[in-house]
Amino acid sequence: MLSTKFIKDIAPRIYKFEKRFELIEKNFGFPSFDPREKGYLALKKTIIGQQLSVASAAAIWRRFIDANISDKEILNNQADTQLKDLGLSRQKISYLKSLAESSLDFDELEVMENEEIINVLTNIKGIGLWTAEIYSIFSLRRLDIFPAGDLALQEASKHLLVLESRPSEKEMRKIAKRWVPYRSICAIILWHFYRNLKSRESTLW
């Protein structure tokens, strides 16, 4: 199961098939792994926070929790005006309705294979591939998931692997195949690298 200690323990194995990852440790140390809550509430939070800044997402989420709106009110359209007043778009309200209607079995998700989890989650309106992959890594702590459509991961890979341009999602998935079975760990290390690059405006060399 993913944890900060596990990343440190497994890192030497990763360096064997992608030596450049070791440069990140030497320059920036190890990343910490901060797991997130899981289950129904976690997916609600993810949907509400989509395409928003961290601060805006947190503010709307606090208002949503304080409002204590039930699924029944959401499904019966009783809370539409209230949800809009909280800052939710019509689209996000429709996504919350879809999630409420889905009757997801979160215990069952825990024992599914990665591909099954992704398929189940992305069949719910409002949960795209990236969201399903992020949930799998940070809530379910799966070891071998790589959100190839994530721009930060693409940009970090460009710098780390000295590529001429930022890889596309398709190219990124191809590159990440050589990081099996620890693609989640590689993603966490790359996010760590990206944050340091942005904050320090530095390079590995």
Find out whether 179 and 14 touch, Cβ atoms under 8 Å.
yes
Of the chain, the end-to-end C-alpha distance in Å amounts to: 33
Mean pLDDT, residues 129-152: 95
Q: Tokens 């359209």 map to which residue?
A: 77
| Cα 36 from chain centroid (whole Å) | 10
**What tokens were used for 71?**
């699924």
pLDDT band at 46 (very low <50, low <70, confident <90, very high): confident
In whole angstroms, what is the distance from residue 32 CA to residue 185 CA?
11
* Tokens of residue 64, six digits: 């949503």
Q: Which domains does the chain have, with CATH numbers?
A: 4-34+145-200 (1.10.1670.40), 40-138 (1.10.340.30)
At 1 the pLDDT is 80
What pLDDT sits at residue 201? 52
* For range 27-31, the mean pLDDT: 93
Q: Please, how many CA atoms are within 13 Å of residue 73, restricted to the half-sphere of its CB?
A: 10
Please report the pLDDT score of residue 56 as a whole number: 92
What's the predicted TM-score (pTM) here? 0.87
Percent of the chain clearing pLDDT 90 (strictly above): 84
pLDDT in tens, 96-112: 999 999 989 999 999 99
Mean pLDDT of the chain: 92
Do residues 102 and 70 make contact, with C-beta atoms less than 8 angstroms apart? Answer: no
Alpha-carbon gap, residue 107 to 130, rounded angstroms: 21
The pLDDT tens digits of the residues spanning 165-184 come to 999 999 999 999 999 999 99
